[in-house]
Structure 1
Amino acid sequence: MVKWSDKDERQYDHIKQSQLERGKSEDDAEEVAARTVNKQRRHEGRTPNQKTQGTGNPNTRLEERTVDELRNLAADLEISGRSKMNKADLIDAIRSRR
């Protein structure tokens, strides 16, 4: 496992505290903070994996998520045919399943 920098740790703590102040549970606040820091690290090229393996920040609108994040979410929802869907189709399928 790669160690986060001091800046990453401070960003994590700040985001987590902000989420707690907004009424999120401890687990949800930690998840949002970790995902945000890891996404920033990927964006800056500080991690070998440039694609996300998750479903994106649950507070982010579907339109703002990547196709990979939407496909992972569609997989969690067991939506068939997702690998052939474009972003708009994925969003429609996810919304109809929720």
Structure 2
Amino acid sequence: MPEAWSAKRERQFQHIKDSQLDKGVPEDEAEEIAARTVNKTRAQEGESEEASRTSLEDKSPSERGGERSHSGAKGRTKEQLYQDARRQGVEGRSEMDKDELEHAVDDR
């Protein structure tokens, strides 16, 4: 358990991880999904020292209900793709549409 997580967040992490494992998701992927969900919730509730703009402005994980779980038809939002492209240093990202951002990010 990361030091910054409370006992409540650790229980939340374990519950999400167990749920993912029950769905047949590999353990390392289940842990990543659970950690990202808990960290996003912490950011939205002001429990973390740093938070991305996407974490703060996007729907909470409980509101979303997995609607953009990267396995559906729509995948990541344009804002999420833009932030990934920014982190990767993709040139011309501000003029790209969602499909172009997705290709640029996936090609790296």
Q: Do they superpose with TM above 0.5?
A: yes
Greater RCO, 1 or 2 (C-alpha within 8 Å, sep 6+): 1
Distance in 2 (CA, whole Å) between partners of 1:12 and 1:70 is 25
Q: How many pairs does the alignment contain?
A: 88
Distance in 1 (CA, whole Å) between partners of 2:102 and 2:38 is 27
Q: Secondary structure at the match of 2:5?
A: coil
Superposed, 1:10-21 pairs within 5 Å as: 10-21=11-22
Any gaps of 5 or more consecutive residues in structure 2?
55-65
The corresponding residue for 2:49 is: 48
Any gaps of 5 or more consecutive residues in structure 1?
none
The corresponding residue for 1:4 is: 5
Distance in 1 (CA, whole Å) between partners of 2:46 and 2:29 is 26
Distance 1:5 1:28, change over 3 A: same
Q: TM-score, normalised by structure 1?
A: 0.69
Q: Secondary structure at the match of 1:11?
A: helix
Q: TM-score, normalised by structure 2?
A: 0.63
